[in-house]
């Protein structure tokens, strides 16, 4: 097993899908998924940037659109479950975990 394979992942299976932990930077210069980061507390998050401002849910909407496009899923399959006004967020992605996890692996590479 390669060392990269031992890196903690910011997603885990949940009933009916996968929960993804994120660290989002709104009002950025571009929309981008930057890869996995290990926070100071040791928890892994997927770093994302969105151009949208954090006003009336615009950044959250942009984040869901960014992730849905990257994963090749409809936006309706992604639901913000925590962190509505915070930079750290949790999103649940509806679907079969064994199908979603390889897609998450692919988009999490910088």
Confidence of residue 5 (pLDDT cuts 50, 70, 90): low
Please give the Cα distance from 96 to 100 (Å, whole number): 6
The per-residue pLDDT for range 50-103, each reduced to its tens digit, is 999 999 999 999 999 999 999 999 999 999 999 999 999 999 999 999 999 999
Domains and CATH numbers, the chain: 26-107 (3.30.1200.10)
Please give the Cα distance from 28 to 3 (Å, whole number): 31
Confidence of residue 109 (pLDDT cuts 50, 70, 90): confident
pLDDT number for residue 6: 64
Comparing 6 with 70, which gets the higher pLDDT?
70
48 touches 89 (CB < 8 A): no
Comparing 22 with 4, which gets the higher pLDDT?
22
Closest by CA position to 23, among listed 8, 36, 14: 36
Please give the Cα distance from 11 to 43 (Å, whole number): 11
Q: What is the pTM of this model?
A: 0.91
Please give the Cα distance from 15 to 63 (Å, whole number): 22
pLDDT number for residue 15: 94
Has residue 110 got a pLDDT over 90? Answer: no
């Amino acid at each position: 097993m390669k060392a990269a394979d031992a890196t903690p992942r910011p997603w885990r299976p949940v009933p009916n899908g996968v929960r993804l932990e994120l660290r989002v930077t709104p009002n950025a210069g571009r929309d981008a998924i930057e890869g996995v980061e290990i926070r100071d507390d040791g928890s892994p998050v997927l770093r994302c940037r969105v151009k949208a401002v954090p006003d009336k849910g615009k950044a959250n909407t942009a984040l869901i659109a960014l992730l849905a496009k990257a994963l090749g899923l409809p936006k309706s399959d992604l639901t913000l479950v925590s962190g509505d006004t915070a930079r750290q967020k949790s999103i649940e992605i509806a679907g079969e975990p064994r199908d979603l996890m390889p897609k998450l692996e692919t988009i999490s590479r910088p």
